[in-house]
């Protein structure tokens, strides 16, 4: 069972704050230390307790969510939940795990929690992972085993801060490397970055919609607004 994770919720809108609280309570591994409408009060809480996850609004009176994150960058995971998508780029420069645009829906929150689980599992096993690249395969070290993954079978890459999930149709693997560094490797030239958190293998793209691409296995991957030009090669 996954260890319990201490979290705080900061939002000056009461309805939004209660919505995040109600969703968080559905996950037994989340230990909610407190909810706050004021960032300065939240800052005091973070400085006096061990916090694993921040759920932060951005646009708040006084100390903004971005400013609060800058002051508590030692907290491993930050998730911004906001009505202002234009803050996305700035927020990801602050080691943000996820950025959710309001109105918050449970299925989107649930997706975020899957990423949170993946991140902490990887963090706990970081010393067990290493990757080496050569030819048409990537070798991922898991404990004493070397797992060989064929590059042409990788559907997509998903960034989780300093780690990257390497996803095939059969399994998800972890590489202790950022997605940006992986994509600079010659072996990954068949991948196209379509989102700050995702890169897909070109050969598996079946359809491009306004805000997402569909892979051959009907899996939908979001398209980031600033990455749409990367898909022009298909037009």
Give pLDDT, residue 131: 53
Query: Confidence class of residue 211 from pLDDT cuts 50, 70 and 90?
Result: confident
**Bridge partner residues of 80 (DSSP):** 56, 99
Task: Write the DSSP symbol of residue 97.
Answer: S
Give pLDDT, residue 174: 81
Q: Which of 121, 52, 111 lies closest to 81 in space, CA to CA?
A: 111
Report whether CATH 2.40.30.20 matches the domain 5-124.
no
CATH 2.40.50.1020 segments of the chain: 128-234
Write the CA distances from 62 to 38, 58, 220, 233, integer angstroms.
8, 11, 38, 45
- Alpha carbon distance 18, 26 (integer Å): 13
- Alpha carbon distance 180, 185 (integer Å): 9
Cβ 63 vs Cβ 48: under 8 Å: no
CATH 3.40.50.2300 segments of the chain: 5-124
- Span 185-193, mean pLDDT? 86
Distance from chain centroid for Cα 87? 16
Provide, rounded to the nearest whole percent, the portion of the chain with pLDDT above 70.
88
pLDDT digits (tens, 9 = 90+) for 82-135: 888 776 656 566 778 888 889 999 999 999 999 898 888 777 665 444 455 566
- Span 5-9, mean pLDDT? 96
Residue 32 has pLDDT above 50, yes or no: yes
Residue 148 has pLDDT above 50, yes or no: yes
Instruction: State both tokens at 140.
Output: 């991922």
Give pLDDT, residue 132: 57
Q: Which of 163, 232, 165, 169 lies closest to 202 in space, CA to CA?
A: 232
Mean pLDDT of all residues belonging to the chain: 85
Query: Confidence class of residue 178 from pLDDT cuts 50, 70 and 90?
Result: confident
Cβ 209 vs Cβ 194: under 8 Å: no
pLDDT digits (tens, 9 = 90+) for 39-95: 999 999 999 999 999 999 998 888 988 899 999 988 999 999 988 877 665 656 677
**pTM recorded for the entire structure:** 0.63
Give pLDDT, residue 91: 59
The listed CATH number (3.40.50.12780, 3.30.460.80, 2.60.40.2550, 2.40.50.1020) that belongs to domain 128-234: 2.40.50.1020
Give pLDDT, residue 128: 41
Q: Which of 143, 158, 161 lies closest to 191 in space, CA to CA?
A: 158
**Bridge partner residues of 99 (DSSP):** 80
């Amino acid at each position: 069972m996954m260890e319990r994770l201490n979290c705080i919720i900061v939002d000056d809108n009461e309805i939004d704050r209660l919505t995040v609280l109600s969703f968080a309570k559905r996950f037994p591994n989340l230990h909610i230390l407190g909810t706050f409408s004021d960032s300065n009060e939240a800052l005091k809480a973070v400085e006096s307790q061990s916090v694993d996850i921040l759920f932060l609004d951005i646009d708040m009176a006084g100390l903004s969510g971005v400013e609060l994150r800058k002051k508590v960058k030692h907290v491993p995971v930050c998730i911004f939940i906001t009505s202002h998508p234009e803050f996305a780029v700035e927020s990801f420069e602050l080691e943000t795990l996820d950025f959710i645009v309001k109105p918050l829906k449970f299925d989107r929150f649930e997706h975020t929690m899957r990423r949170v689980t993946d991140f902490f599992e990887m963090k706990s096993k970081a010393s067990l992972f290493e990757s080496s690249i050569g030819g048409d395969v990537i070798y991922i070290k898991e404990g004493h085993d070397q797992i060989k993954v064929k590059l042409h079978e990788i559907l997509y890459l998903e960034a989780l801060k300093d780690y990257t999930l390497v996803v095939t149709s059969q399994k998800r693997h972890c590489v202790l490397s950022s997605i940006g560094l992986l994509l600079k490797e010659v072996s990954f030239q068949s991948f196209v970055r379509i989102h700050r958190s995702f890169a897909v293998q070109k050969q598996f793209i079946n359809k491009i919609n306004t805000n997402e691409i569909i892979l051959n296995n009907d899996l939908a991957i979001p398209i980031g607004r600033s990455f749409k030009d990367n898909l022009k090669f298909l037009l």
